[in-house]
Structure 1
Amino acid sequence: MSLRRPLTRAASAAAILAGLLVAPAAAVAAAGPTALPASQYTLSADYHHYDAVNSALVSTLGTAAVHTVMDNANHDRTALPSSFSVAGLSTGFRFDSGDNSDCANYPQGITTSRDAVGTADSGNYDGHQLVLVSWYTKDGCGGDQARSRITLVDWDATYPNKYRKVLLVEPTGTAAAPDFKDIPIHAGGVSWYGDYLYVADTGHGMRVFDMRKILKTNTGGTAGQIGHQSGSVYYAHNYAYVLPQVGTITAKTTSGTNLAWSSISLDRVSKSIVMAEYTCQSGCTAYPNRAPRAVRFPFAAGATTFAATTTASQALQLPWYNLNGVASHNGRWWFNSSGQKKLYYWTSSGGPATFSWVGSGESLSYWEDATSADLLWSLQEGAGSRNVFAVTQATYGGG
């Protein structure tokens, strides 16, 4: 049984409006993706690099289970505004007014507890059905990337409409003197599988976190204080909880051009993570000027971890640009282009199709549902319009 909270009045109005809209016009693109040699792309996985320091941090600080974090959730999510509409809209929310308009923090990746555990027990992880969003933080409005975090949002009729922020940190120091530091990455994509959280690290691959090892830290201090202070006092920019990195997934290619890990998503059917690159057709200085790629990497058999070495099982050259989001499920692919306000759909047998989409769109996550329509979750990063929403995947070519 689905436990999605019923829409509030504003969100209901948006859903009704979207339901009245004609399904977005789909036009077959001139060309679709083409296959690349998958053997050119490999991953190297290390889940134990930080074991000694993490054990010391756990012993010193103690851990908080996900249900404890949510029992102490201290932000209120709000309804989608009635002005928001997109074809196939099913449900969604906004962050509170401060997070919606914050010019120093930007939401990027999205995953859910349905990714983590599937549809069993309505997708509950540690008793909660959750939407998880990754963010990057600048050192002031218009500044450089300074750190990254996640937001855990309750999406369950049993619990309040609350969310909690958790800082992502990298362990440092030694087992005798454990510490941690900020992780200043874009966090453009995120996938939750079992107990592990995989976060895209643009130029390298992915960083891995263990949702069973959320650490309790000391609040207070100043916004700039991070890590060990004195005795057993550890500050984290006034965050009460931090999630330390436990592993690293490093990508390599023999194709001559390393992958840019702009976005990732979990495919529960094939038990793999898919990634896509953000590139420009021409004229960019901050991003590659070339056709992007999408690559699928399978997990180890029967596991929620990658083998020590993994070879890609599928690789595609894409004809589309400015791709902020990717999703795949049962042989179907979706790609979100923020620059074009398009959602591209493709299967190897049916070919490509293009749909109208939202502006400033970010990552995608496929939501399996045993009793209702399957959904695609997505979000917008633009300050003032940070809508987190789900649409019926069949509206966008999924059938």
Structure 2
Amino acid sequence: MSVRRRNLSRAVLAAVLLVGGAVVAAPAAEAATVPTALPTSQYTLSADYHQFDAVNTALVSTLGTAAVHTVMDNANHDRTALPSSVSVAGLADWFRFDSADNSDCANYPQGITTSRDAVGTADSGNYDGHQLVLVSWYTKDGCDGAQARSRITLVDWDATYPNKYRKVLLVEPTGTAAAPDFKDIPIHAGGVSWYGDYLYVADTGHGMRVFDMRKILKTNTGGTAGQIGHQTGSTYYAHNYAYVLPQVGTITSKTTSGTNLSWSSISLDRVSKSIVMAEYTCASGCTAYPNRAPRAIRFPFAAGATTFAATTTASEALQLPWYNLNGVASHNSRWWFNSSGAKKLYYWTPATGAATHTWVSSGESLSYWEDATNADLLWTLQEGAGNRNVFAVTQATYGA
């Protein structure tokens, strides 16, 4: 089956930039200071992909699984186009969530990855028959409450299929093989990377949580909004979600530098077969975030695998000169960093130096989209309520 990417408008490639909903001219790149190298030996990962095997086996037996194509066959939310008055320099593709999700004060989109990350460009980047954009969210306990849980949305990006998406709750297995259960995962989910069948979700103070896209569970709808996990008999509620994705393992980071990493954002680099992470920090004055220079670290996957070895040492470590970083991407020794605070997109290579581009307000994670026939893209999104634009730009507009 021939699958083409849905382009809402290829005609709109004007050099204008959306900043807080307003359209302004996109200025030329500015000069910038550059990252400096840190000792890679100071940063390591420990991986456990079998942490919940016994309970997950029991959950699968009890609840049954739904393949990704089944989830998308039952997608129940309509993605929409952006207003025609907004655009971004190098704009290639875009969408918005439905009106309820666009304005929801308790749920915030954060990370972004795609099926192109998962499988590359073969078969137009299809995973289980669908070309997908995946976004991670965190949910607060009410508009002014604390983080209560996290979820993902799977968004169809094929012209062959309707403009639909489906929400899937992220859960942590609990209980025993004899009495399996699950609970909410109250993390920020600031970054997400999909590689092969595994989904890696940033867990700010620890590292990453790992999920297996082949193990989406079917749950019972109904009940009250607060009901989670096993109720009676074989009934399992999940805040009225029909599908949950249980955690399969944990990737824990450690540093000998004296300051633990803050996993604010992550992204997949398919060229070097690694995940890169970056920290959100402040120059000064922050109470909820570190007040120090941020770092970006690259961790390679095990050779020929979509998993990390039991212990992994960083292959690249950088001290960064920029702050308030909500997004990172790397591809072919090129780096991009999104600063929501400065509304800047920083581009850097060791060979050519750094450049700074004006960027969007409330910008979040980045994901590199390889394309065998068209221009490569950078996908990103905005988290601000009422302005949740998800869009892709030609990467050459912000680099080379």
TM-score (norm: length of structure 2): 0.96
- Are the aligned partners of 2:193 and 2:200 in contact in 1 as well (CA < 8 Å)? yes
SS across alignment from 1:180: strand
- Are the aligned partners of 1:23 and 1:395 in contact in 2 as well (CA < 8 Å)? no
- Map 1:247-326; keep pairs closer than 5 Å: 247-326=249-328
Q: Structure 1 CA distance, aligned partners of 2:394 and 2:185? A: 34
Q: Which residue identity is paired with 1:229?
A: Q
1:75 aligns with 2:77: yes
Q: Structure 2 CA distance, aligned partners of 1:352 and 1:322? A: 17
Q: Which residue identity is paired with 2:128?
A: D
- Are the aligned partners of 1:14 and 1:83 in contact in 2 as well (CA < 8 Å)? no
1:363 aligns with 2:381: no
- Map 1:15-26; keep pairs closer than 5 Å: 15=13, 18=16, 24-26=27-29
- Are the aligned partners of 1:88 and 1:392 in contact in 2 as well (CA < 8 Å)? yes
Unaligned runs of 5+ in 1: none
Residue aligning to 1:175: 177
- Are the aligned partners of 2:112 and 2:135 in contact in 1 as well (CA < 8 Å)? yes
- Are the aligned partners of 2:15 and 2:90 in contact in 1 as well (CA < 8 Å)? no
Residue aligning to 2:31: 28
Q: Which residue identity is paired with 2:117?
A: D
Note closer, same or farther for the CA distance 1:98–1:15 as it changes in structure 2 (3 Å cut). farther
Residue aligning to 1:223: 225
- Are the aligned partners of 1:15 and 1:91 in contact in 2 as well (CA < 8 Å)? no
Q: 1:140 aligns with which of 130, 134, 142?
A: 142
Per-residue deviation, 1:21: 8.6
Residue aligning to 2:6: 5
- Are the aligned partners of 1:323 and 1:335 in contact in 2 as well (CA < 8 Å)? yes
Output one character per residue of 1:19-56: Cα deviation in whole Å (capped at 9) or x when no partner.
Answer: 99976411111x20000000100000000010000000
What do you get for the CA RMSD once the two structures are aligned?
1.4
Output one character per residue of 1:126-173: Cα deviation in whole Å (capped at 9) or x when no partner.
Answer: 000000000000000011000000000000011000000000000000
Unaligned runs of 5+ in 2: 18-22
- Map 1:375-394; keep pairs closer than 5 Å: 375-394=377-396
Q: Structure 2 CA distance, aligned partners of 1:13 and 1:395? A: 16
SS across alignment from 2:355: strand
- Are the aligned partners of 1:14 and 1:84 in contact in 2 as well (CA < 8 Å)? no
Residue aligning to 1:54: 56
Q: Which residue identity is paired with 1:28?
A: A
Residue aligning to 2:356: 354
Output one character per residue of 1:81-132: Cα deviation in whole Å (capped at 9) or x when no partner.
Answer: 1232211111100000000000000000000000000000000000000000
Q: Structure 1 CA distance, aligned partners of 2:7 and 2:367? A: 20
1:89 aligns with 2:81: no
- Are the aligned partners of 1:117 and 1:123 in contact in 2 as well (CA < 8 Å)? yes
Q: Which residue identity is paired with 2:92?
A: S
Larger CA deviation: 33-42 vs 74-83: 74-83
Output one character per residue of 1:56-100: Cα deviation in whole Å (capped at 9) or x when no partner.
Answer: 000000000000000000000000112322111111000000000
- Map 1:189-268; keep pairs closer than 5 Å: 189-268=191-270
Q: Structure 2 CA distance, aligned partners of 1:50 and 1:264? A: 23
SS across alignment from 1:230: coil
Q: Which residue identity is paired with 1:232?
A: S
Which 4+ runs in 1 deviate beyond 2 A?
11-24
- Are the aligned partners of 1:345 and 1:354 in contact in 2 as well (CA < 8 Å)? yes
Output one character per residue of 1:164-221: Cα deviation in whole Å (capped at 9) or x when no partner.
Answer: 0000000000000000000000000000000000000000000000000000000000
Q: Which residue identity is paired with 1:5?
A: R
Q: Which residue identity is paired with 1:157?
A: A
SS across alignment from 2:162: coil
Larger CA deviation: 79-88 vs 298-307: 79-88
SS across alignment from 1:379: strand
- Are the aligned partners of 1:363 and 1:379 in contact in 2 as well (CA < 8 Å)? yes
Q: Which residue identity is paired with 2:28?
A: A
- Are the aligned partners of 2:77 and 2:165 in contact in 1 as well (CA < 8 Å)? yes
- Are the aligned partners of 1:2 and 1:371 in contact in 2 as well (CA < 8 Å)? no
Q: Which residue identity is paired with 1:97?
A: S
Output one character per residue of 1:242-270: Cα deviation in whole Å (capped at 9) or x when no partner.
Answer: 00000000000000000000000000000
- Are the aligned partners of 1:129 and 1:154 in contact in 2 as well (CA < 8 Å)? yes
Q: Which residue identity is paired with 1:70?
A: M
Q: Structure 1 CA distance, aligned partners of 2:309 and 2:10? A: 45
How many equivalent pairs are there? Answer: 394
Q: Structure 1 CA distance, aligned partners of 2:12 and 2:384? A: 19
Residue aligning to 1:187: 189
Q: Structure 2 CA distance, aligned partners of 1:23 and 1:226? A: 47
Q: Structure 2 CA distance, aligned partners of 1:212 and 1:276? A: 28
SS across alignment from 1:284: coil
Q: Which residue identity is paired with 1:25?
A: A
Larger CA deviation: 16-25 vs 130-139: 16-25
Per-residue deviation, 1:362: 0.0
Residue aligning to 1:99: 101
Per-residue deviation, 1:13: 7.1
Q: Which residue identity is paired with 1:57?
A: L
Q: Structure 2 CA distance, aligned partners of 1:324 and 1:34? A: 19
Q: Which residue identity is paired with 1:217?
A: T
TM-score (norm: length of structure 1): 0.97
